[in-house]
Protein backbone atom coordinates (compact mmCIF):
# COMPACT_ATOMS: atom_id res chain seq x y z
CA UNK A 1 0.00 0.00 0.00
CA UNK A 2 1.25 3.47 -0.86
CA UNK A 3 0.47 6.90 0.49
CA UNK A 4 1.36 9.12 3.41
CA UNK A 5 -0.31 6.82 5.93
CA UNK A 6 2.11 3.92 5.46
CA UNK A 7 5.06 6.32 5.51
CA UNK A 8 3.77 7.83 8.74
CA UNK A 9 3.23 4.45 10.37
CA UNK A 10 6.69 3.28 9.40
CA UNK A 11 8.28 6.41 10.86
CA UNK A 12 6.47 6.36 14.20
CA UNK A 13 6.89 2.60 14.42
CA UNK A 14 10.64 3.11 14.31
CA UNK A 15 11.09 6.44 16.11
CA UNK A 16 8.04 6.82 18.33
CA UNK A 17 4.91 8.96 18.47
CA UNK A 18 6.19 12.41 19.32
CA UNK A 19 6.38 15.31 16.90
CA UNK A 20 9.25 17.70 17.59
CA UNK A 21 8.33 21.31 16.97
CA UNK A 22 10.98 23.69 15.65
CA UNK A 23 9.75 27.11 16.75
CA UNK A 24 12.45 29.83 16.61
CA UNK A 25 10.45 32.55 18.33
CA UNK A 26 12.38 35.56 19.54
CA UNK A 27 12.18 34.74 23.26
CA UNK A 28 13.68 31.30 22.65
CA UNK A 29 16.47 32.70 20.47
CA UNK A 30 17.33 35.16 23.23
CA UNK A 31 17.22 32.51 25.95
CA UNK A 32 19.69 30.48 23.90
CA UNK A 33 22.01 33.49 23.72
CA UNK A 34 21.36 33.98 20.02
CA UNK A 35 20.58 37.15 18.14
CA UNK A 36 17.07 37.74 16.87
CA UNK A 37 18.42 37.96 13.36
CA UNK A 38 19.24 35.77 10.40
CA UNK A 39 22.51 34.56 11.93
CA UNK A 40 20.77 33.61 15.18
CA UNK A 41 18.03 31.81 13.27
CA UNK A 42 20.60 29.87 11.26
CA UNK A 43 22.46 28.78 14.39
CA UNK A 44 19.18 27.77 16.03
CA UNK A 45 18.41 25.64 12.98
CA UNK A 46 21.82 23.96 13.16
CA UNK A 47 21.20 22.93 16.77
CA UNK A 48 17.66 21.66 16.11
CA UNK A 49 18.74 19.64 13.08
CA UNK A 50 21.61 18.03 14.99
CA UNK A 51 19.43 17.29 18.02
CA UNK A 52 16.16 16.18 16.47
CA UNK A 53 16.50 15.08 12.86
CA UNK A 54 18.22 11.74 13.63
CA UNK A 55 15.75 10.67 16.34
CA UNK A 56 12.30 12.21 15.72
CA UNK A 57 9.74 10.51 13.51
CA UNK A 58 8.25 13.88 12.60
CA UNK A 59 9.67 17.39 12.94
CA UNK A 60 7.36 20.38 12.62
CA UNK A 61 8.92 23.71 11.73
CA UNK A 62 6.52 26.56 12.48
CA UNK A 63 6.75 28.56 9.28
CA UNK A 64 5.63 31.83 10.87
CA UNK A 65 8.80 32.10 12.94
CA UNK A 66 10.98 31.93 9.83
CA UNK A 67 9.01 34.48 7.83
CA UNK A 68 10.07 37.65 9.71
CA UNK A 69 13.63 37.15 8.42
CA UNK A 70 12.54 37.37 4.80
CA UNK A 71 14.61 35.62 2.16
CA UNK A 72 17.21 34.56 4.74
CA UNK A 73 14.48 33.00 6.88
CA UNK A 74 13.09 31.02 3.99
CA UNK A 75 16.59 29.88 3.02
CA UNK A 76 17.06 28.55 6.55
CA UNK A 77 13.65 26.89 6.44
CA UNK A 78 14.54 25.21 3.13
CA UNK A 79 17.68 23.85 4.78
CA UNK A 80 15.76 22.61 7.84
CA UNK A 81 13.32 20.75 5.59
CA UNK A 82 16.03 19.24 3.40
CA UNK A 83 18.41 18.22 6.18
CA UNK A 84 15.73 16.79 8.46
CA UNK A 85 14.32 14.74 5.61
CA UNK A 86 17.84 13.65 4.71
CA UNK A 87 18.31 12.37 8.27
CA UNK A 88 15.19 10.21 8.03
CA UNK A 89 12.59 12.40 9.75
CA UNK A 90 9.28 13.28 8.15
CA UNK A 91 8.83 17.04 7.95
CA UNK A 92 5.44 18.58 8.66
CA UNK A 93 5.44 22.23 7.60
CA UNK A 94 3.18 24.09 10.02
CA UNK A 95 2.03 26.69 7.51
CA UNK A 96 -1.78 26.59 8.05
CA UNK A 97 -2.46 27.58 4.44
CA UNK A 98 -5.99 27.92 3.15
CA UNK A 99 -7.46 29.72 0.13
CA UNK A 100 -9.43 29.09 -3.04
CA UNK A 101 -8.75 28.18 -6.64
CA UNK A 102 -5.40 28.99 -8.21
CA UNK A 103 -4.10 30.48 -4.94
CA UNK A 104 -4.65 27.22 -3.07
CA UNK A 105 -3.07 25.36 -5.97
CA UNK A 106 0.00 27.58 -5.65
CA UNK A 107 0.22 26.86 -1.92
CA UNK A 108 -0.02 23.16 -2.73
CA UNK A 109 2.86 23.42 -5.20
CA UNK A 110 4.96 25.34 -2.68
CA UNK A 111 4.63 22.81 0.15
CA UNK A 112 3.85 19.49 -1.53
CA UNK A 113 5.43 19.41 -4.99
CA UNK A 114 8.84 17.88 -5.63
CA UNK A 115 9.84 20.89 -7.73
CA UNK A 116 9.64 23.27 -4.75
CA UNK A 117 12.57 23.88 -2.37
CA UNK A 118 9.97 24.10 0.41
CA UNK A 119 8.45 20.68 -0.32
CA UNK A 120 7.77 18.89 2.96
CA UNK A 121 6.27 15.50 3.73
CA UNK A 122 3.07 17.14 4.93
CA UNK A 123 1.58 20.57 5.58
CA UNK A 124 -1.08 21.96 7.90
CA UNK A 125 -4.07 23.54 6.15
CA UNK A 126 -7.05 25.61 7.28
CA UNK A 127 -10.53 24.61 6.05
CA UNK A 128 -12.40 27.79 6.90
CA UNK A 129 -12.91 28.84 3.29
CA UNK A 130 -14.68 25.52 2.91
CA UNK A 131 -13.27 22.00 3.09
CA UNK A 132 -13.63 21.63 -0.66
CA UNK A 133 -11.39 24.65 -1.26
CA UNK A 134 -8.46 22.54 -0.06
CA UNK A 135 -8.84 20.01 -2.88
CA UNK A 136 -5.67 21.20 -4.69
CA UNK A 137 -3.62 20.41 -1.58
CA UNK A 138 -5.30 17.05 -1.11
CA UNK A 139 -4.74 16.13 -4.77
CA UNK A 140 -1.09 17.20 -4.66
CA UNK A 141 -0.51 15.33 -1.40
CA UNK A 142 -2.08 12.14 -2.69
CA UNK A 143 -0.14 12.26 -5.97
CA UNK A 144 3.18 12.69 -4.15
CA UNK A 145 2.45 10.32 -1.23
CA UNK A 146 2.51 13.29 1.10
CA UNK A 147 -0.01 14.42 3.69
CA UNK A 148 -2.22 17.33 4.69
CA UNK A 149 -3.34 17.98 8.27
CA UNK A 150 -6.63 19.87 8.46
CA UNK A 151 -7.40 22.07 11.46
CA UNK A 152 -10.40 20.55 13.25
CA UNK A 153 -10.30 21.34 17.00
CA UNK A 154 -7.30 23.47 17.84
CA UNK A 155 -5.71 23.93 21.25
CA UNK A 156 -6.45 27.67 21.54
CA UNK A 157 -9.55 28.59 23.61
CA UNK A 158 -10.86 31.01 20.96
CA UNK A 159 -11.23 28.19 18.45
CA UNK A 160 -14.29 26.76 20.21
CA UNK A 161 -16.60 29.52 18.97
CA UNK A 162 -16.09 28.40 15.38
CA UNK A 163 -15.08 24.76 15.69
CA UNK A 164 -17.92 23.74 18.00
CA UNK A 165 -20.60 25.80 16.21
CA UNK A 166 -23.58 23.82 14.97
CA UNK A 167 -23.44 22.86 11.30
CA UNK A 168 -26.61 20.99 10.47
CA UNK A 169 -26.75 19.13 13.75
CA UNK A 170 -23.02 18.39 14.00
CA UNK A 171 -20.19 20.65 15.18
CA UNK A 172 -18.07 22.27 12.49
CA UNK A 173 -15.01 20.39 13.79
CA UNK A 174 -16.82 17.06 13.46
CA UNK A 175 -17.84 17.93 9.90
CA UNK A 176 -14.16 18.46 9.12
CA UNK A 177 -13.19 15.11 10.65
CA UNK A 178 -15.99 13.37 8.75
CA UNK A 179 -14.87 14.92 5.45
CA UNK A 180 -11.27 13.87 6.08
CA UNK A 181 -12.41 10.33 6.91
CA UNK A 182 -14.38 10.16 3.66
CA UNK A 183 -11.26 11.22 1.74
CA UNK A 184 -9.21 8.50 3.46
CA UNK A 185 -11.35 5.56 2.37
CA UNK A 186 -8.71 4.71 -0.26
CA UNK A 187 -6.44 3.58 2.59
CA UNK A 188 -3.72 6.13 1.82
CA UNK A 189 -4.03 8.05 5.10
CA UNK A 190 -3.40 11.23 3.08
CA UNK A 191 -5.51 13.44 5.32
CA UNK A 192 -4.84 13.97 8.98
CA UNK A 193 -6.50 16.37 11.37
CA UNK A 194 -5.25 18.74 14.05
CA UNK A 195 -6.91 18.23 17.44
CA UNK A 196 -5.42 19.89 20.51
CA UNK A 197 -4.32 17.76 23.44
CA UNK A 198 -5.05 20.40 26.07
CA UNK A 199 -8.74 19.67 26.68
CA UNK A 200 -11.60 17.32 25.86
CA UNK A 201 -12.33 17.84 22.17
CA UNK A 202 -15.79 16.31 21.80
CA UNK A 203 -15.09 14.79 18.39
CA UNK A 204 -15.58 11.26 17.09
CA UNK A 205 -12.27 10.25 15.52
CA UNK A 206 -13.01 6.55 15.15
CA UNK A 207 -13.47 6.53 11.37
CA UNK A 208 -10.64 8.89 10.39
CA UNK A 209 -8.08 6.24 9.29
CA UNK A 210 -5.41 8.93 9.27
CA UNK A 211 -3.02 10.71 11.62
CA UNK A 212 -4.10 13.05 14.41
CA UNK A 213 -1.64 15.83 15.20
CA UNK A 214 -2.18 16.72 18.86
CA UNK A 215 -0.36 19.94 19.81
CA UNK A 216 -0.20 21.22 23.35
CA UNK A 217 2.16 18.80 25.09
CA UNK A 218 4.57 20.50 27.46
CA UNK A 219 4.48 24.29 27.61
CA UNK A 220 0.75 24.51 26.80
CA UNK A 221 -0.07 22.28 29.75
CA UNK A 222 -0.96 18.86 28.35
CA UNK A 223 0.96 15.87 29.69
CA UNK A 224 1.61 12.40 28.33
CA UNK A 225 -0.64 11.02 31.06
CA UNK A 226 -3.57 13.07 29.69
CA UNK A 227 -3.44 11.60 26.20
CA UNK A 228 -5.26 8.35 26.87
CA UNK A 229 -8.28 10.15 28.31
CA UNK A 230 -8.38 13.02 25.81
CA UNK A 231 -8.14 10.61 22.86
CA UNK A 232 -9.98 7.67 24.36
CA UNK A 233 -12.08 7.22 21.21
CA UNK A 234 -9.18 7.43 18.75
CA UNK A 235 -6.93 4.77 17.26
CA UNK A 236 -3.83 5.64 19.26
CA UNK A 237 -1.54 4.16 16.62
CA UNK A 238 -2.40 7.25 14.53
CA UNK A 239 -1.91 9.76 17.34
CA UNK A 240 0.98 12.23 17.02
CA UNK A 241 1.36 14.40 20.14
CA UNK A 242 3.54 17.45 19.55
CA UNK A 243 5.89 19.36 21.81
CA UNK A 244 7.91 22.43 20.89
CA UNK A 245 8.92 24.69 23.77
CA UNK A 246 8.74 21.83 26.25
CA UNK A 247 11.70 20.24 24.45
CA UNK A 248 13.48 23.29 23.08
CA UNK A 249 13.82 25.03 26.45
CA UNK A 250 16.54 22.46 27.20
CA UNK A 251 18.80 24.20 24.65
CA UNK A 252 21.05 25.54 23.37
CA UNK A 253 23.13 22.40 23.87
CA UNK A 254 22.12 19.94 21.14
CA UNK A 255 22.71 16.90 23.34
CA UNK A 256 20.43 18.37 26.02
CA UNK A 257 17.70 19.08 23.47
CA UNK A 258 17.94 15.52 22.17
CA UNK A 259 17.79 14.12 25.70
CA UNK A 260 14.71 16.23 26.49
CA UNK A 261 13.03 14.99 23.32
CA UNK A 262 13.85 11.35 24.03
CA UNK A 263 12.53 11.64 27.58
CA UNK A 264 9.27 13.20 26.36
CA UNK A 265 8.95 10.61 23.58
CA UNK A 266 9.44 7.73 26.00
CA UNK A 267 6.81 9.20 28.33
CA UNK A 268 4.37 9.37 25.41
CA UNK A 269 5.07 5.80 24.35
CA UNK A 270 4.65 4.54 27.90
CA UNK A 271 1.37 6.42 28.31
CA UNK A 272 -0.06 5.13 25.02
CA UNK A 273 0.72 1.44 25.54
Q: What is the pLDDT of residue 255?
A: 98
Looking at 14-23, 77-86, 160-169, 173-182, which range is the least confident one?
A: 160-169
**Fold adopted by 4-271:** TIM Barrel (3.20.20)
**pTM exceeds 0.85 for this model:** yes
| pLDDT interval class at 1 (50, 70, 90) | low
263 or 164, higher pLDDT: 263
Number of neighbours of residue 132 by Cβ within 10 angstroms: 10
96 counts as catalytic: yes
Q: Nearest-5° angle of CA 256, CA 264, CA 230?
A: 155
The overall average pLDDT reported for the chain is 96
Q: Which of 9, 79, 85, 96 is catalytic?
A: 96
Q: What is the pLDDT of residue 272?
A: 94
CA quadruple 221, 224, 230, 236: dihedral sign? positive
CA-based radius of gyration for the chain: 17
Q: Are 21 and 60 in contact (CB under 8 A)?
A: yes
Q: 170-217 pLDDT, tens per residue?
A: 999 999 999 999 999 999 999 999 999 988 898 999 999 999 999 988
Terminal alpha carbon distance of the chain: 26
Residue 219 confidence (pLDDT) above 80: no
Q: 35-45 pLDDT, tens per residue?
A: 999 999 999 99
* Residues 48, 84: Cα–Cα separation, whole Å: 9
Element (H, E) at 149: strand 147-153
Amino acid sequence: MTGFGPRFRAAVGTRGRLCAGIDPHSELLESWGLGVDAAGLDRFADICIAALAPVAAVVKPQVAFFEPFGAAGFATLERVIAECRGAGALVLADAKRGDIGSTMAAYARAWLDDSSPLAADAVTVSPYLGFGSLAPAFDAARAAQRGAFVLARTSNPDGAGVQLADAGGRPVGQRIVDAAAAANTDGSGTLGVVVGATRAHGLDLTTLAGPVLAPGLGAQGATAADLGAVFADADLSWLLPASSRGVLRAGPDAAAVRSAFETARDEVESALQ
